[in-house]
Amino acid sequence: MSLLLAFDDEAALAQRLAQAIGRQHAFVDRHHFPDGETRLRLPASLPAHVVLLRGLQQPNDKLTELMLAAAGARELGARRLTLVSPYLAYMRQDTAFTPGEVVSQRHVGRALAAWFDDVVTVDPHLHRVATMDEVVPGRRAVALTAAPLLGAWVAQRLPDALLLGPDQESLQWVRAAAAAHGLDHAVCSKKRRADRAVEVELPNGVDLRGRAVVLLDDVASTGSTLVEAARGALARGAATVDVAVTHALLVGDALEQLRAAGVREVWSTDSVPHPSNVVSIAPLVAQALSSIAPGT
Name the amino acid, one letter, at 227: V
Assign 273 a pLDDT band (cuts: 50, 70, 90).
very high
Q: What is the DSSP letter of 136?
A: S
Over range 190-197, report the average pLDDT.
Answer: 62
Which of 70-74, 109-113, 117-121, 131-135 shows the lowest per-residue confidence on average (mean pLDDT)? 131-135
Residue 169 has a pLDDT of 85
Residue 203 has a pLDDT of 87
Name the amino acid, one letter, at 183: L
What's the distance, Cα to Cα, between the start and end of the chain in Å? Answer: 7
Residue 96 has a pLDDT of 85
How many Å apart are CA 218 and CA 122, to the nearest integer? 9
Of 212, 275, 280, nearest to 246 (Cα)?
Answer: 280
Assign 180 a pLDDT band (cuts: 50, 70, 90).
confident
156 CB contacts (<8 Å, ≥6 apart)?
A: none
- Which percentage of the chain shows pLDDT scores above 70? 96
109 CB contacts (<8 Å, ≥6 apart)?
A: 134, 135, 136, 137
Residue 198 has a pLDDT of 67
Residue 195 has a pLDDT of 53
Q: Which of 185, 190, 247, 274 is catalytic?
A: 190
Contacts for 184-188 with beta carbons within 8 Å, 24 or more apart? 186/162, 188/164, 188/229, 188/232
Q: Is the dihedral of CA 137, 20, 145, 294 positive or negative?
A: positive
φ, ψ for residue 22, nearest 5 deg = 65, 40
Residue 1 has a pLDDT of 73
Q: Is the pLDDT of residue 104 over 60?
A: yes
How many Å apart are CA 216 and CA 239, to the nearest integer? 17
Q: Is the pLDDT of residue 80 over 70?
A: yes
Could you confirm whether 190 is annotated as catalytic? yes
148 CB contacts (<8 Å, ≥6 apart)?
A: 176, 177, 180, 181
Residue 253 has a pLDDT of 95
pTM to 2 decimal places: 0.93
